[in-house]
Structure 1
Amino acid sequence: MGIARWKVRNRTPRMCSGCDSGSKPLTFVCTVGPDDFEPKIFLGESKALAMAVVGFDDETDNIYSITVGIERIPGGKYELFFHLVEVDSETDSEYLYWSGRDTQFIRNKADRNRILQTTLLLCAMLIKRANPDQLTWFTCDENPPEQALVKYFLIIRVIEECGYEVRTADPYNGRWVWFAERGPG
């Protein structure tokens, strides 16, 4: 287990001062909103990335960013991926969170929704700029819960709005797989 992951999973969260005992820990602070969004986009020959800072840990000063990427895979096709990146403020090391199951330290549902909306915006921006002919992507987790699949279906909608036709393959070993091809026009 990476050091950053260990820190996130094994710290004692602080509680809101003056709040009741049922209050949520105050470690993750969401900094992204619909009008407060500074994406960075990097386009390369075989890889494209869109990133945005979404928060920080007020205890450790670690920074959290969403990264959406498109990378060429064997056969000339492109894979879509996205993850949360934690940058350790002391060592500058990074830890990638591929699964929502590992990001439960972001407890506030409104924060999680703002991060999801940011991910969807980054996805649309990146696809429009990179403009790949085809995309494929899959769930990180085997047999993801319905809540996780809803997020993937929102991504499908974004990709369709970018002019792609999306097909869903039968789950393979519990993982869902999607293919998108740019439509005519």
Structure 2
Amino acid sequence: MIGGDFEFFFYIVGVDRKTGKQYTYWSGKETAVFITNIHDRVAILGKVLEGIVELVNLAEPTRVCMFAYDEPLPEKALFKLLDVKETFHKLGFKVEELPKAQGHLGWSMERNT
């Protein structure tokens, strides 16, 4: 990001096994069509949260920004984002909501010093 900040985002990549073509899914609204099992969705969220820990430990950022893809966010997505924000908080970051950017919710996570 401009100014040297990090931006956190994630997406799901699907592959058509017959053609090998890849598809990028940014929205939980899209993945809800083919990731229907709640246990699978919970496992994926767990891996995203583990990834946050690994990335923060590797990159050692002082500030990270994050923006929601969908607007308005479904209630389920808000709960998932709470888990993401809580993970940053546990890693020593102060989490603040940003003014909406082009109608999308955003957060700034700054490392406590």
Which has the larger helix fraction?
2
Q: Per-residue CA shift, 1:42-71, capped at 9, x if unaligned? A: xxxxxxxxxxxxxxxxxxxxxxxxxxxxxx
CA RMSD of aligned residues (A): 1.5
1:103 matched to 2:31? The reply is: yes
Superposition TM-score, scaled by structure 1 size: 0.56
Instruction: Summarize the alignment of residues 8-23 of structure 1 with structure 2, pairs less than 5 Å apart.
Output: none
Q: Which runs of 4+ in 1 moved over 4 A?
A: none
Specify the alignment match of 2:41 in structure 1: 112
Q: Could you tell me how far 1:116 is from its partner in structure 2?
A: 1.0
> Which structure has the larger Rg over C-alpha atoms?
1
1:161 matched to 2:76? The reply is: no
Structure 2 residues not aligned, in runs of 5+: none
Q: Per-residue CA shift, 1:5-58, capped at 9, x if unaligned? A: xxxxxxxxxxxxxxxxxxxxxxxxxxxxxxxxxxxxxxxxxxxxxxxxxxxxxx
Superposition TM-score, scaled by structure 2 size: 0.89
Structure 1 residues not aligned, in runs of 5+: 1-72
1:176 matched to 2:105? The reply is: yes
SS in 2 for 1:179: strand
Q: Count how many residue pairs are aligned between Structure 1 and Structure 2.
A: 112
CA distance in 1 between counterparts of 2:103 and 2:73 reads 8
1:75 matched to 2:6? The reply is: no
Which structure is higher in RCO with an 8 Å CA cutoff and minimum separation 6? Answer: 2
